[in-house]
Chain A
Amino acid sequence: MMAQDDEDRRAWFRREILPLEPDLLAYARRFCRDGQTDPEDLVHETFARAIACKTWREIGNPAAFATRVLRNCALDALRRRKVLTITAVADFERIEPIDEAPGAQSIIESREELQALADAIAELPTQCRRVFTLRKVYSLSPDEIAVRLGLSVSTVEKHLVKGLRYCSEKLGRRNERKSKADERRSWSGIRDHDAKR
């Protein structure tokens, strides 16, 4: 029974929390303007805390939940420092929670995602791209790829890991351009704000 529970919890995490990655990353960036905290680390920690949540069944709004967790991670990261960075805290009131209904957008973006994936694969170094394409497009097993390309299975594995890491990074950052626009907006917001004084 325990194993089923764990599986349900992981499924919830996959379904509700993981797709928030681009939004969370954009959100995390706004806490990291001093360059001392890595927004990726914040997102990473947010994921670890979210998957650990035993009361996940009671969470009605996963985006709001993840936002709150990220905020707490940001605060904790600040508290851990010897020289305390309070950048983020200063901006806390200003930083708006991420969009709480990203679902619709994800569907629209799925075609773009497919293209982004194809682009990511095209960007891999030749040998890595070959191994990766044989595995993920042509569904050959690592053993078969090793024989066909005259490589060791562990080298095939290495290329697959490299390709996966590159693609998963790309998938996680898909909203980067959008988040840059957000940042610009917040800069002009700051100026407008100042100008009114």
Chain B
Amino acid sequence: MRQAAALWVVRLDDPSCSDADRAAFEAWRGESFEHEATYEREAVAWARIDRVRALRPGLQRPDADLLAATPQPQPQPRLSALSRSPWARGLAASAAMALLVAGSLSFGTSTAYATAIGERRVVVLGDNSRIELNTDSKVVVRFKRGVREVKLIKGEALFDAAPDARPFVVKAADAVIAADGSAEVAVRLRSDGAAVTVKKGAVDVDPVRADAKDDMRLTAGVAAIYDSRGARSRVVSNAEIDRSLAWRQGAIALNGQSLAQAAAEFNRYNHRQIRIADPSIAHLRLAGYFQTTEPTSFVNAVTSAFPVSASEGADGAIRLSRRS
């Protein structure tokens, strides 16, 4: 549409513009306020461009040939403005996050790191590997002879294994996740089993209790789940990985999850729980970006966008029901 508006601007400014053209323009403009506004935008820009006449002497150098119209070498057109996604910015910001440096660990001893509900924590190990703990999580780090071992006891964490001669091993829900070389892998415990997402490098997943056929080798961009039903993996997009790791920026990124799933997600981060009192709204699908520790602004968003109302339960929980 801006293209069409721009064409009208150019055409109407042409001294040889015909009356028929002017009438056609009036008809086009009268079609909608959108046309009208778009035309004004382009017309104003067109008029503002006249200001460059003030620069005429300055322009003459690159365009000295212009009135003579001799050919020039083709410059590289730079017509696309690079716009970085908010995600890229968010990830860059996370790099600036304050690090909590743990003391170096001696042979055989183990150290536990834990987070409370709503808390996040970054631990840098003696070998420069990093562990980012999400809300309500716990790991035990144990550097044994020849192996770096971390056990995920509770919750969710991102492991960024630094290159080292010793293998980096994460134990979670009866599985051993071994990284060779440097790797970045997120592990989240589920009620049954765990979910593993590989962001960088590659890992071998060996569910101890499962059949040998459930061993998996996962490379970057693959997510897997293992539980009592066995193990399965799938390829995931970078965007999906970023969304699942939104917690690193203190956010929850929803992309079509149900209200029930969204509420469960918020409940991981907050003492103030969200309860869905009405099954008929549990399946509403949402997308969006929210702060983990702000269940109320999430609830406000839901109630203003859906026919849902919120009330406070006797226990202080937020109860969601269908607005009558």
> Taking CB as reference atom, which chain B residue is nearest A51?
B37
**Distance, CA A130 to CA B290, complexed state (A):** 49
Q: Interface residue tally of chain A, by bracket?
A: 35 or more
B38–A165 contact, CB under 8 A? no
**Distance, CA A194 to CA B11, complexed state (A):** 55
Evaluate whether A161 and B10 lie within 8 angstroms (CB atoms) in the complex, with A36-B287, A134-B66, A168-B41 already known.
yes
Residues of B within 8 Å of A90, CB to CB, are 288-291, 294, 297-298, 300-301
From B43, B50, B62, B93, give the contact of A136 (CB < 8 A): B50
**Distance, CA A164 to CA B4, complexed state (A):** 12
Evaluate whether A48 and B32 lie within 8 angstroms (CB atoms) in the complex, with A14-B40, A118-B58, A161-B7 already known.
yes
State how many angstroms separate the Cβ of A197 from the closest Cβ of chain B: 6
Residues of B within 8 Å of A78, CB to CB, are 305
From A50, A126, A137, give the contact of B53 (CB < 8 A): A137
From A91, A121, A124, A173, give the contact of B52 (CB < 8 A): A121
Q: Which of B11-42 contact A (CB under 8 A)?
A: 11, 14-16, 32-34, 36-38, 40-42
Evaluate whether A165 and B6 lie within 8 angstroms (CB atoms) in the complex, with A83-B256, A125-B77, A191-B97 already known.
yes
Evaluate whether A123 and B77 lie within 8 angstroms (CB atoms) in the complex, with A34-B253, A51-B36, A161-B3 already known.
yes
Residues of B within 8 Å of A138, CB to CB, are 66-67
Interface-facing stretch out of A57-65, A96-104, A182-190: A182-190
A166 within 8 A of B: yes
A84–B286 contact, CB under 8 A? yes
Q: Which of A107-165 contact B (CB under 8 A)?
A: 113-114, 117-118, 121-126, 129-130, 133-134, 136-139, 141-143, 148-149, 157, 160-161, 164-165
A175 within 8 A of B: no
State how many angstroms separate the Cβ of A189 from the closest Cβ of chain B: 11
B198 within 8 A of A: no
Interface-facing stretch out of B80-88, B125-133, B183-191, B210-218: B80-88
Residues of B within 8 Å of A123, CB to CB, are 77-79
- Give 26 CB contacts A-B under 8 Å: A18-B44, A29-B86, A34-B253, A34-B255, A35-B85, A47-B37, A47-B40, A52-B36, A84-B306, A86-B305, A87-B289, A89-B305, A90-B298, A113-B48, A114-B51, A117-B51, A125-B77, A130-B69, A137-B53, A142-B10, A157-B7, A164-B42, A187-B89, A187-B90, A187-B249, A191-B97
A-side residues, CB < 8 A to B, are 10, 13-14, 18, 21, 29, 33-36, 44-45, 47-52, 75, 78-79, 81, 83-94, 113-114, 117-118, 121-126, 129-130, 133-134, 136-139, 141-143, 148-149, 157, 160-161, 164-169, 171-173, 176, 180, 183-184, 187-188, 190-191, 193-194, 197
